[in-house]
Amino acid sequence: MTGKMREEQPFLRDFSRPLRILFIGNSHTYRHDVPATLVRLAGAAEPAAAVTVETRFGEGASLAWHWGNPETVQVIGRGKWDYVVLQERSGGPIEDRLSMEKHALLLDRRIRDAGARTILYMTWPRRDKPEMQGTIAAAYCGLQARTGALLAPVGFVWARCRSTFPDLDLHDPDGRHANVLGAYLSACTFFALIFRRSPEGLAATVLSPGEYSSFGGKERLSVLERIAHEITGPLRQPS
């Protein structure tokens, strides 16, 4: 296979029925429940959209681990999914990009054979290593070019949000995982990607009152939500 993007038939979405999305990944997806937050965002939007999600996670799991896990491979084929999200372990793009690419390509083939579309979940670097975002991004963008998959550029969204608000902290205390706000922005990125709309104004219906206030209220959250939409648009592949 070459590095040239394959030409794909248009992916037709029927929003008159619930969208079915399978998330495959690890703690960067299940911490603060990004899939459930996406469901709430879709339900709070106007017009509302129904989304059902299923998940397959492993602690610290890589895409290689998922490819070798019969349960993950089988659920791709039997789920009648619209989208399947692939999230490599955080160190994968940095430490073993060849394995990430190999197993992402294998999983993407299985996903397309099942009639679904792959979404690549670009993650973010550790708090103390922001310079690694370029390496992470190169791996995910390279995979997008090779597969024609959709790209959820969460790492880019985080970087722009933090450059806009230097005091913004999107990491949990461990400096690796997302805190509640970081996970919310991840879900906003998926919302903007899938529905081609801005999540601006939805935070008040999704976050708790205490979270909404502590994260800056309407003024700041609207800017963060708008960034998720603006960053996602140029990287979206035709569907």
239 domain-assigned: no
Please write the tens of the pLDDT for every residue from 106-165.
999 999 999 999 999 999 999 999 999 999 999 999 999 999 999 999 999 999 999 999
Q: How many CA atoms lie within 13 A of 27 on its CB side?
A: 11
% of the chain beyond a pLDDT of 90? 88
Query: Rounded to whole angstroms, how far apart are CA atoms 45 and 22?
Result: 21
In a domain, 80, yes or no: yes
Total domains in the fold of the chain: 1
Cα torsion angle, 56, 6, 143, 35, sign = negative
1 in a domain, yes or no?
no
Q: pTM here? A: 0.91
- Identify the band that residue 29 occupies on the pLDDT scale cut at 50, 70 and 90: very high
- Whether 36 shows a pLDDT value over 60: the answer reads yes
Query: 5 lies in a domain?
Result: no
Q: Which residues 6+ apart lie within 8 Å of 158 measured at CB?
A: 124, 170, 182, 185
Q: Considering the chain, what is the average pLDDT of its residues?
A: 91
In a domain, 105, yes or no: yes
pLDDT tens-digit series, residues 80-100: 999 999 999 999 999 999 999
CATH number at residue 230: 3.40.50.1110
| 84 in any annotated domain | yes
Rg (CA), the chain: 17
Q: Which domain holds residue 219?
A: 19-234
Could you tell me if 199 and 49 are in contact, meaning their C-beta atoms sit under 8 angstroms apart? no
Residue 144 domain-assigned (yes or no): yes
Residue 169 belongs to some domain of the structure? yes
Mean pLDDT of 4-10: 31
Residues 6+ apart with CB under 8 A from 197: 45, 191, 229
Average pLDDT of span 190-196: 97
